[in-house]
Structure 1
Amino acid sequence: MDTARKILVLGASGLIGRYIRDDLRARGFQTIGVARKFSAGQAMNALDLEVPIMAMNTAALAGLLREQAVDVVVNCLGVLQDGPGSDSRAVHRDFVERLLQAIKQSGRAVRLVHISIPGAAGEDHTAFSVTKREAERLIAASGIRYAILRPGFVIAPSAYGGSAMVRALAALPFQLSMADASVPFQPVAIEDISATIAWLAERDDRDSVANSASWDLMQKQPVTLGEVIAAFRRAFGTEKSLRIAVPAFLLNLGVMLADLVSWLGWTPPMRSTAIAELRRGVTGDPSEWMAATGMIPRTIAETLGRHPATIQDKWFARLYLVKALVIASLVVFWIVSGFIALFVSYDAAAGILRSHAFPPSLVAPVTVLTSLIDMATGVLIAFRRTAAFGLVWGILASLGYMAGAAILTPDLWIEPLGALVRTGPAIVLMLVALMTLDNR
C-alpha cells in the first residue's frame, strides 16, 4: 500500500471532513486538515492548518499546494443555504474554479477528490444543488486528474445537520407524512467514503479510472426515508413508542421560522433548502463505483450494527430539537417580561417595589433599568454569536435579582405567585442551554 502520498483535506472541521482526516491518518497517510476554525473539541494535529481558505485567491491556493507538497486534495467544503456568512455560489462554484486554476499553477500532479451530491442535473432546483452541479461541470472540463464522489445520506459516528435531524425524528414520537416517509433515501457509511478516498490516493497518476471518476456512493438496496428513521428507532429502542403525526402545515411553519432564525446566525437543519432536497430524495446507482473499486457498501443495518447506540447518542437525539425550544423560550421570556414591565404594566411593576418599602427615589430607575436589562438579555441570546454571553449574563442577572431582593425586599420571596422562586428553574434552563450550545 502506497501511503507516501500527502493528502490535503479541505473542510476538515465538518462531519465528513473530520472523519476522513482522522481515518486517512489511521491508514498511514500524511494528512493535512484545513479549516477556517477548528472547535475546542476537534484536536488539531501538528499538520493541521487554520486558514481563511475561502478568502484565498488562486495564487495563495497554488502556493499552499506547493508549500505542503500535496498529491491529493479532498474538497469537503459546502454550505446548505445562503445566509449571513454563507454563500452557496461562492463556496461550491467560485472556490472550486479558483482551486482548479491553483492546481494547474502549482506545478504538481495533484488529484482532486470532490465531495458532491447525488441526483441528476435536471432535478436541481435549489441554489445548493445547482451550484454543486456547476462545480462538477467545471471539474470535468478542467483537464486535471479528478474523482467526483456523490455520497448518499451519510451515516457517521457523530451527527450534524440532516443526520442529527434524522436521529431526533427517530428518538422523539414524531411521524412524518406518508409522502415524506416514502421518499427514496439511500444511505452510505462514512467508512465507505473514506475507504474510497484512500483507494483513490493509492492509484498511480496514470490510472485512467481514478483520473476521471464520477461515482454515486450509497448502499445498493433501495430504501426510503421512513425506513432509515425506522432503522435508527431500532437502534435507539424506540420502535414501539407512540407516534404523533406532524401535519404538513406545521412542518412548513417550522421551515419558515428556521429560515428566519438563520439570519440571526443559527443553522437549523430543517430550512427550506433542506426540506426541498429531502423531498427530492437521495438516490443513485453505485454499481460503477462498486465495479471500479471492488467495494461492497455497507447497508444501514450493518452500519448501525457496527456502532450501537449509546446513552450519549440517545440523549443527543432527544435533546436536539428540545435545544431549539429552550433557546426560543428563553428569548421570548426575557424580551416579553422586560417589555411588559416597561410598557404594558409599568405602574404594576413599580407598585410591587413601592408596596415592599423600596426607596421611592429608586423605584422608577430600577424598574426601567431591570426592564431594559431583561430585553437586552433576550436579544443577546437570540443571536448565535452572542448567545453564550447572553446566557451567562442572564444567569448573573437572575442571581443579582435574587440577591438584591433578599437584601432589600426579602418578603418578595414569599409573595403568592412566587416570582423569585421561579427564577431558580429559569437559571437551570439557561445552564442547560449554555451546556448544549455547541454544534460540533
Structure 2
Amino acid sequence: MSITPTPRILVLGASGLIGRFVTDDLRQRGCDVVGVARRFSGGQRVSPDDLELPVMAMEASALAELIRARDIGVIVNCLGVLQDGPGSDTGAVHRDFVVRLLSAIRQSRRDVRLIHISIPGNETHDRTAFSTTKREAERLIAASGNPHAILRPGFVIAPSAYGGSAMIRALAALPFELPEKERARPLQPVAVEDIATTIAWLAARPLDDETTKAVTWDIMQPEPVTLGDVIDRFRVAFGTAPQPRITLPKLLLDAGALAGDLISRLGWMSPMRSTAVAELRRGVSGDPQGWISATGIVPKRMSEVVGARGASIQDKWFARLYLVKALMIASLVLFWLVSGFIALVISFPATTAILTSRGWPEAFAVPFAAITSMMDMSIGVLIAFRCTAATGLVAGILLSVGYMAGCAILTPDLWREPLGALVKTGPAIVLMLVALLTLDNR
C-alpha cells in the first residue's frame, strides 16, 4: 500500500514560541515546511525556506500567490499579539488577517487545510480584545466551509521562553510569591511537543476525512493544575523550592500591569500588561478528551517536561535576569536623563565653573557643557525606545569612554575628586554592556 506524502506546510508566525518550535519539529519529522515571519532573529533563520515577509500588509491576492507558488497544502496560523499598542492591533492580527487568509485560500484554487492556533476557555468569559478577536477568528474559520482544525492549547511549556512563560520562570527563580487567589487560578499546561505532534498528525490526514474536516480541540493535559503548581514545579527544577518568599500584593500586580501598558507605548513588549493580568485571573482550562480520543496522543504531564531533570545554568541565568533586565533599562534611562538635566538646568553654573576654573575659556566651556548635557539626555531618550535602545546603549558606552579619556587628558585632577565620579563611570559602562548583550527577546 502506498503512503500519501505529507503536503507542503506553510507556518505563519514562524518566529514565535509555538511557530518556531513547530517549524523546526516538522522539519525533523521529514516534512517540507516553509516558515514565514515578519522578522527572524539571527539564530532563527536556519533554512532557505524561512522567509521574511510583511504578512500583515499582504493582500489576499498576494497570499494566494504565495500559496500557489510554494505549492502549499497545509497552513498553520500561529500569528497573534497580546494587546493593542504601537505596531500591534489585535483586531488586525486575529480577525482581519484571517478574513484575508480564507479569501486567499479560495483564490488559490487549491485544496488547503487550515490549522489555526487559538486560545482555550469559555467564550462567555471573553473580556479582553485579545480573547474576543481570537474567538471572532474561530467563528470565521468555522463558517468558511474550508477544511480546518482549531487548536486551543493550554499554557505552553517549551524549551525556550517568551512573555508569560518567561515571567513564570522568573517568579520561580526569584524570592517572590503571588497572592493566594492568583496562585489558585487554573492553568492546564501543554508541552509544545504535543502541539507539534498534533499538527503533524493532522497534516498527514486526507482532506476528505470527515473526522478531521472541521474540528476544534482543547490541547492540554487533562489533570487540573493551578498557576501555583506550575511555578512550584519550576522551583523544583531551579532548586529554589526551599527559599523564603515575599508575597506580592495585588496592588503591586495592578501597578505592574499599568507600567507594562505604558512602556509598551515605547515599543517594549512587557509580559506584565493589563491583558496578561486579566487572562491570568481568568485562568487556562479546557477539556482535551476530544483531542486525545481522535488522535490517540497521550499528552505529556507537567512533571515530564518541567523538573524531570535539573535546570541548566543557562535556564537559571535567564530566569534570574529576566526581571532585572527591565530594571537595568529603566535605571539607565533615568541615569542619562537625570544627569543631563541636572548638569544643564539645575547645576549649569557649577558645571561650567568646573571647566573655567581649570583654565577653559568661558566662550568654550559654556557651549561644551550645554552640548554634552544634551547628549546625555539624548542617550536616555534613545535607550527608552525599544527600536533605538541598542543605538543608545552603544552611544552611551562610547560617550562614557570619551568622558573618561578626555578628563584624563584635559582635567586629570577630576580623577582624584573625593566622590570618585569618574571612577564610577566604569561600572556604568559594564551595566550598559550587559543591557546591550541581553537586549534580544528571542
TM-score normalised by L of structure 1: 0.98
- Partners of 1:358 and 1:409 within 8 A in 2: no
From 269, 283, 286, the equivalent of 1:284 is 286
Matched, 1:431 2:436: no
1:184 equivalent in structure 2? 186
Alignment of 1:83-232 (within 5 A): 83-232=85-234
Give the partner amino acid of 2:138: E
Aligned to 1:141, what secondary structure does the other structure show? helix
Give the partner amino acid of 1:190: V
Alignment of 1:29-40 (within 5 A): 29-40=31-42
Alignment of 1:43-62 (within 5 A): 43-62=45-64
1:316 equivalent in structure 2? 318
Shift of 1:306: 5.5
How many percent of aligned residue pairs carry the same amino acid? 65
Shift of 1:428: 0.3
TM-score normalised by L of structure 2: 0.98
Distance in 1 of aligned mates of 2:317 and 2:419: 33
Aligned to 2:30, what secondary structure does the other structure show? coil
Give the partner amino acid of 2:105: I
Deviations 1:295-318 (A, max 9, x none): 111111111246641100000000
Q: Out of 58-67 and 162-171, give the one that drifted further.
A: 58-67
Residues 413/398 of structure 1: CA separation in 2 closer, same or farther (3 Å cut): same
Alignment of 1:370-385 (within 5 A): 370-385=372-387
Distance in 2 of aligned mates of 1:48 and 1:367: 50
Shift of 1:350: 1.9
Shift of 1:358: 3.4
Give the partner amino acid of 1:294: G
- Partners of 2:94 and 2:134 within 8 A in 1: yes
Q: Out of 324-333 and 358-367, give the one that drifted further.
A: 358-367
Give the partner amino acid of 1:249: L
1:296 equivalent in structure 2? 298
Shift of 1:408: 0.7
- Aligned residue pairs total 440
Give the partner amino acid of 1:328: A
Distance in 2 of aligned mates of 1:112 and 1:307: 36
Aligned to 2:144, what secondary structure does the other structure show? coil
Distance in 1 of aligned mates of 2:6 and 2:251: 55
1:256 equivalent in structure 2? 258
- Partners of 1:38 and 1:44 within 8 A in 2: no
1:347 equivalent in structure 2? 349
Shift of 1:2: 4.5
2:68 equivalent in structure 1? 66
- Partners of 1:9 and 1:74 within 8 A in 2: yes
Shift of 1:3: 4.1
Give the partner amino acid of 2:35: G
Q: Out of 359-368 and 253-262, give the one that drifted further.
A: 359-368
Deviations 1:110-159 (A, max 9, x none): 00000000011111100000000000000000000000000000000000
Shift of 1:354: 2.9
Distance in 1 of aligned mates of 2:372 and 2:282: 50
Give the partner amino acid of 1:438: D
Shift of 1:233: 0.4
Matched, 1:268 2:270: yes
1:366 equivalent in structure 2? 368
| RMSD, aligned CA | 1.1
Residues 360/86 of structure 1: CA separation in 2 closer, same or farther (3 Å cut): same
Shift of 1:105: 1.7
- Consecutive unaligned residues in structure 2, runs of 5 or more: none
- Structure 1 segments of 4+ aligned residues over 6 angstroms from their partners: none
Shift of 1:356: 3.4
Aligned to 2:6, what secondary structure does the other structure show? coil
- Partners of 2:236 and 2:307 within 8 A in 1: no
